[in-house]
Amino acid sequence: MSVLRTKPVEQSIRDTEEPEHRLRKALSAIDLTVFGVGVVIGTGIFVLTGVAAKTTAGPAVALSFVVAGIACALAALCYAEFASTVPVAGSAYTFSYATLGELVAWIIGWDLILEFIIGASVVAVGWSQYLGVFLETLDLELPTAIASSEDGVINLPAILVVLILTAVLVAGIKLSSRVNEVVVGIKVAVVLFVIVAGAFFIDRDNYSPFVPPSEPAADTSGLHATLVEAVFGQAPANFGVSGIFAAAALVFFAFIGFDVVATTAEETKRPQRDLPRGIIGSLLICTTLYVAVSLVVVGMQKYTDLDEAAPLAAAFRAVDKPFFANLITVGALAGLTTVMMILMLGQSRVAFAMSRDGLLPRPLSRVHPRFGTPYRITVIVGVVVAILAGVIPLAELAELVNIGTLFAFVLVSIGVAVLRRTRPDLPRSFRLPLMPLIPILSLLACLVLMFFLTVETWLRFLAWMLLGLIVYFLYSRRLNVDARENDWSGTSPPG
């Protein structure tokens, strides 16, 4: 069996009709857009705005969000054509299997674990920290042993919230969507409140200089240098034009998750029409909100004085509005809740697709007879996320989420051009404009952002990929009974 054999699109679509693996179709374009907004607006808007502005870009952090948003928009267009052409669960994994072959599909499926499971675990830890801040405003405090702190033994709040969200995901995609809509409504209302209320406290002097002059960064050498610095010998610097791009690589984390919309393809009523709308619509909404919030927060407080842990809340405390700061904390809790839930949803759907294809044990892809969800996979994902968030320090692994997502975008950008050439006959309700220019620009934009990540992050990523190859050749390739039983020769349609 060739490791580069592709899975025909027709075969993927037929697999969705198998009774024991059939997901329930219940989502509309609005549901998908809200899912996208729900997963994107979270840590980025409530935390990374302050970090990027204070340490790297200054008031020009708004431009960093634009740069990261453009990179994501280019990738989103590629995802939109793929999702409308191959409306099957699995997102980048499924797209890669149809265009680049089984080995690449496995690699991207393994890679998405970084984005979804580790990402959800990191967000769960952040949620627990915000819960602690919120309880302090009520004069309550959790025992140190079960709180999110360096002296804690187990992060009980993070574990509990993950398990509750797992139960919601098992109970059905429509229930998950309704819970998501309510919570997203709360956090978007808070974000809009920040923009409107904060505008009254803007001091124009805080915008000067908008692009602070470049200055030498703290000595970052060896593993802590960015790949650009290590390869080209460029001296590390903050601010200036290079600072805008370095900050873009950092705030890219704020956009992670819009691709989760594509993992719900099989649960969408009219995927060919609604998936492109959900993917592109959610990204446009989030980029607009990010730019507006970043302009407000650096206008309210000098970028050098921003709080890196909770910049929005601290900015309102600086103008003597503590009630507004507490309201933002509630919005942050709501925001992180939906991010966790949708990242776990995305991971369960990718693992579901891999299991149905035989690269993971096929019994895991069984769908619940009542709820119509892949309940076994969902429970496993929830337990793993709960364990990671509850007992393992994850701060140093967060950048792996960025590089893993960018790598997925790179393969999708390549794959959409490949499928357009190899299968021009497939119906496409959304066709990528300016082919192949858009995929090429998407590829280049993602590579540029990857080069601004540290050498240490690259080495960890390569080590994770090497482990994935070992698992594939020693286990998953032999397990892939489904591929052996079906004749998927080349990229031609099955006969």
Q: Where are the domains of the chain?
A: 9-484
The whole-number pLDDT of residue 438 equals 92
The whole-number pLDDT of residue 495 equals 31
The whole-number pLDDT of residue 395 equals 59
Buried b / exposed e across 87-114, counting CB within 10 Å, b at 16+? bbbbbbbbbbbbbbbbbbbbbbbbbbbb
Within a 10 A sphere around the Cβ of 133, how many other Cβ atoms? Answer: 16
CA 126 to CA 162: how far, in whole Å?
A: 12
What stretches of 301-321 show up as alpha helix (H) in DSSP? 311-318
Mean pLDDT of the chain: 81
The whole-number pLDDT of residue 382 equals 93
Taken as a whole, the chain contains a residue count of 495
Buried b / exposed e across 415-449, counting CB within 10 Å, b at 16+? bbbbbbeebeeeebbbebeeebebbebbbebbebb
List of E strands, 4-120 = none
Q: Which residues of the chain have pLDDT under 50?
A: 482-483, 487-495
Within a 10 A sphere around the Cβ of 487, how many other Cβ atoms? Answer: 11
* Residue 183 token pair: 């919570």
DSSP 3-state of 209: coil
* Radius of gyration of the chain from its Cα atoms, rounded to whole angstroms: 22
Give me the CATH topology for the region 9-484. Amino acid/polyamine transporter I (1.20.1740)
Burial of 134 (0-12, 13-18, 19+ CB in 10 A): middle
Contacting residues for 288 by C-beta, under 8 A, at least 6 apart? none
Report pTM.
0.81
The whole-number pLDDT of residue 377 equals 92
The whole-number pLDDT of residue 43 equals 64
CA 100 to CA 110: how far, in whole Å?
A: 15
Does residue 90 contact residue 349 with C-beta atoms inside 8 Å?
yes
CA 260 to CA 322: how far, in whole Å?
A: 35
